[in-house]
């Protein structure tokens, strides 16, 4: 863990006092969630029993796109690693960008929304796949890493400059950004959640997003192993789901969309 730098935190809040509400909300949610924020043997066991291999799924549905996604991921890995290795602090790790690239190529979405950008591994994967599709827009939400100086300049640092031009990036935290995004893009094809990993953070975001998800659309959630939110939700709502590896949960049915 990096040491708390109170000077950076003070500067961060001073430049934009509205951020105080986001930080206070995070602390309140952690306290209110209490033990719900912890994984249990039962929730970890459930994930392990349901876990599937991304490659096995992708090769069954669209093998040629999985190969393309592999080439994308290899290039991305080399380029992105060279960039993040030079950063003066350790930035939040990348989600499953090969799988996301494959999914976006498969679904040909018009609207993708993601929360949690950090260096931008998943943003780059989604934007690259949309670019290759020749259609679609990405709306992303993040909240800069407040412990370092000028954190905004690192957000999306692995995203290609030309892809940034068509990117709708919000940096005021999910609570403020998601309502704005939903106003601009009320129908979502794919939602990728990789920001506030608390139990109530997940619940709040999905309750906002789900009414805006198109029929057949997908919710992809990272780090589901952190607590039992994903299991509790899909069981309570009786939703189809897939677990990729031990971290990524998908709500909805992954299938080749029918033409038309
Ligand atoms: C694991 S990182 C995201 C990694 C990213 N998907 C990638 O592939 O590079 C999580 C990010 O979520 C952001 N975050 C945490 N809480 C947030 C909130 N309430 N609203 C928006 N972003 C938040 C963090 O600042 C961090 O940048």
Domains of the chain: 6-251 (3.40.50.150)
Q: What does the buried/exposed string (b/e) look like for 71-81 if buried means 16 or more CB atoms within 10 Å of the residue's CB?
A: ebbeebeeebe
Ligand 1 neighbours by CB, cut-off 6 Å: 22, 92-95, 115-122, 141-143, 145, 173-174, 194-196
Q: Which of 23, 96, 143 to mutate to test the pocket of ligand 1 (most atoms within 8 A of CB)?
A: 143
Q: What does the buried/exposed string (b/e) look like for 23-62 if buried means 16 or more CB atoms within 10 Å of the residue's CB?
A: eebbeebeeebeeebeeeeebeebbeeeeeebbebbeeeb
Q: Which residue has the tokens 């030309």?
A: 162
CA of 87 to the centre of ligand 1 (A): 17
CA of 82 to the centre of ligand 1 (A): 21
Tokens representing 179 are 């309502």
Residues 211-253: tens digit of each pLDDT: 999 999 999 999 999 999 999 999 999 999 999 999 999 999 9
pLDDT tops 80 at residue 53: yes
**Element at 138 (helix H, strand E):** strand 137-141
Tokens representing 25 are 């909300």
| 3-class secondary-structure state, position 238 | coil
Residues 82-128: tens digit of each pLDDT: 999 999 888 877 779 999 999 999 999 999 999 999 999 999 999 99
């Amino acid at each position: 863990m990096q040491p708390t730098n109170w000077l950076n935190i003070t500067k961060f809040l001073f430049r934009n006092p509205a951020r105080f509400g986001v930080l206070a909300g995070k602390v309140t949610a952690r306290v209110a969630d209490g033990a719900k924020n912890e994984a249990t043997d039962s929730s970890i066991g459930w994930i392990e029993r349901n876990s599937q291999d991304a490659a096995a799924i992708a090769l069954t549905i669209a093998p040629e796109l999985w190969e393309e996604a592999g080439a994308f991921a290899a290039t991305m890995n080399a380029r992105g690693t060279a960039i993040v290795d030079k950063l003066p602090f350790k930035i939040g790790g990348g989600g499953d960008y090969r799988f996301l690239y494959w999914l976006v190529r498969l679904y040909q979405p018009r609207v993708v929304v993601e929360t949690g950008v950090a260096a931008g591994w998943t943003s780059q994967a989604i934007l690259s796949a949309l670019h290759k599709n020749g259609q679609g827009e990405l709306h992303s939400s993040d909240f800069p890493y407040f412990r370092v100086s000028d954190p905004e300049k690192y957000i999306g640092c692995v995203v290609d400059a030309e892809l940034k031009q068509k990117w709708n990036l919000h940096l005021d935290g999910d609570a403020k950004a998601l309502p704005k995004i939903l106003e601009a893009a009320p129908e979502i094809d794919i939602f990728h959640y990789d920001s506030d990993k608390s139990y109530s953070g997940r619940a709040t975001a999905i309750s906002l997003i789900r009414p805006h998800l198109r029929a057949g659309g997908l919710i992809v959630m990272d780090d589901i192993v952190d607590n039992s939110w994903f299991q509790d939700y899909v069981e309570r709502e009786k939703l189809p789901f897939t677990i990729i590896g031990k971290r990524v949960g998908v709500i909805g049915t992954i299938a080749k969309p029918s033409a038309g």
